[in-house]
Amino acid sequence: MAQITDPAPVGTFPRLGWVDDLLNPALRSAVAALPAAESRVAGYHRGWCEADGSPMATASRTGKSVRPALALLSAAAVGGSPELAVPGAVAVELVHDFTLLHDDVIDGDALRRHRPAAWSVFGTPAAVLTGDALLVSAMRVLADVAQARAAEAVKELVTALLELVEGQSRDVTFETAPKVSVAQYLAMAEGKTGSLIGCSCALGGILAGADGERVRGLREFGRRLGVAFQCADDILGIWGRTARSGKPVGADLAARKKSLPVVAALSGEGTAAERLRTLYAATHPLDERDVALARELVEEAGGREAAEQEARRQVSAALRALSWARPTPDTYRQLRDIAWAMTHRES
């Protein structure tokens, strides 16, 4: 197994080539087993092919495989072989792509992974149906596991999915809510993002045969890490760079979405917070100048600092929970470094 010796520099993510070596054959097989139309959309979404189904002229790196890496490392953390967790790694990656396809439709984001989003190329119905197909495929991958804990793994994923949907629903309702507290936001983030990352870690433990206490530790580690990841994502959504992230920066502000920096800033006192509340309460569309002003006001009102502090707090809580799982020293270090990289990134 490849090892990480030092935390990755800011803006990078630890390169775990062995994760892709284990993940990709099974993941490609799962996508190839979809109906032809949905398989093509999924392949395009992942950067494996062009819109017409032809192979990409140059290799395209799609995402960081965070969730699969966590599943495989979690299996190793409890003394199991990472190979045991491959079905879990594939399942969570399929679910992750399902959420991205649907999120882009819900948010109207036309850019994903440095290329036009699937819905903008194939149409909304095709993107939604492909997401649905990926979700069903994830269930099938786990159901096909030839071991006694397959049912437990499926139950873990279903539970996480219900939380994920509830969290996403809350996020949508926040857009029109007159006021959202930081506590409400964090509860939403735990469902929307923490549930699947927690599930990734728990599946690794379950498929490796870990006992309930160790699985709970892995799950809680992932949930806290997921909230921290969402905090970092919110920061990038306002102050990141589209060229690095492959996603439209500033779109959330233009839509008056209540990300954590915004929620914290709106809850503050002072002139900047009051001006931001006025801007968010207005009904006119926000143009580029308005978005730039909102970005300045959020930072001036302390929103960025609050989100950064919360991310650090959640990572600390995640590492405390990880100790419950009694991981091997090597995998503890690798999981710690991934946690650090997930919250100190530029994309």
* pLDDT of 301: 98
Q: What's the whole-model pTM score?
A: 0.91
* pLDDT of 147: 75
- The domains of the chain are located at 17-342
Amino acid at 31: V
Distances (CA, A) of 51 to 32, 56, 60: 16, 10, 14
- Mark the ranges of the chain whose per-residue pLDDT is less than 70: 1-15, 59-63, 242-247, 346-347
Dist CA 333 CA 331 (whole Å):
5
* pLDDT of 64: 76
Among 3.40.30.10, 2.130.10.10, 1.10.600.10, 3.40.50.300, what is the CATH number of 17-342? 1.10.600.10
Torsion sign across C-alpha atoms 162, 168, 171, 172: negative
Structural contact between residues 259 and 238, judged by C-beta atoms closer than 8 angstroms: yes
* pLDDT of 4: 36
* pLDDT of 11: 46
Amino acid at 104: D
Mean pLDDT (the chain) is 92
* pLDDT of 247: 62
Nearest to 114 by CA among 245, 281, 22, 235: 245
Cα dihedral: 219, 334, 342, 99 (round 10)? -50
